[in-house]
Amino acid sequence: MPKKVDHEARRREISEALWRITGSRGLDAASLRDVAAEAGISLGRLQHYFRTRDEMLIFALRHINQLAADRIRARIEALAEEPTPREVLRACLTGMLPLDDNSRIGVLVGAAYYARAVHDATLRAEARNGIPQLGAFFADQLRRAAERGSCRRSVRPRIRRCC
């Protein structure tokens, strides 16, 4: 009977190997060969999951962003049944701080990605998708706070295009 492999789990494991390299040596040091060695698999096996380095980088960025979103969502869900916008913003912002090993590596990896996005069109496109969504969420929370009277009504958050 053939061995069942959870392909998504294997892709996440490879991503985590990429993050370890990025956290210690930087994103440019993360070649396919180095990531394969860090993950304890052959280069051919890695290429079974990611045909190109860019494909691996994008998957790993999306995965680390999903982990951060899950961590922040858990913080928000732990709040009162009807949290105030201030409580939601506080949970989000503290959830983005590098307060433990996982969030520290997340911040290092995120910084490496966004620094590279300046010169990499694929990563820049990914940043253009994610950052405005986060900005819109924060702006909405500030609008809700103004409506509730918990911040000045003169606060009018605007979302500017980035990258």
The whole-angstrom separation of Cα 49 and Cα 10 is 8
Number of structural domains found in the chain: 1
Q: pLDDT, tens digit, for every residue of 108-163?
A: 888 888 888 888 888 888 877 777 778 888 888 888 888 888 777 666 666 665 55
The whole-angstrom separation of Cα 29 and Cα 20 is 11
140 in any annotated domain:
yes
CATH of the domain at 31: 1.10.357.10
| Integer angstrom CA distances of residue 8 from 96, 159, 163 | 25, 34, 30
159 in any annotated domain:
no
Q: pLDDT, tens digit, for every residue of 51-74?
A: 988 899 889 888 988 888 888 889
For residues 112 and 37, which has the higher predicted lDDT (pLDDT)? 37
2 in any annotated domain:
no
For residues 12 and 100, which has the higher predicted lDDT (pLDDT)? 12
Contact yes or no for 59/15 (Cβ under 8 A): yes
161 in any annotated domain:
no
Dihedral angle at the C-alpha atoms of 48, 128, 151, 71, nearest 10 degrees? 0
Token pair in block for residue 125 = 């496109």
Please give the single-letter amino acid code of residue 49: Y
The pLDDT mean for the chain works out to: 85
78 in any annotated domain:
yes
14 in any annotated domain:
yes
For residues 37 and 161, which has the higher predicted lDDT (pLDDT)? 37
The range of the structural domain enclosing residue 26 comes to 7-148
154 in any annotated domain:
no
Is the pTM of the predicted complex or chain greater than 0.75?
Answer: yes
Contacts 24+ apart (CB under 8 A), 120-128: 122/54, 122/57, 122/58, 123/57, 123/58, 123/61, 124/163, 126/58, 126/61, 126/62, 127/162, 127/163, 128/161, 128/162, 128/163
43 in any annotated domain:
yes
pLDDT band at 37 (very low <50, low <70, confident <90, very high): very high
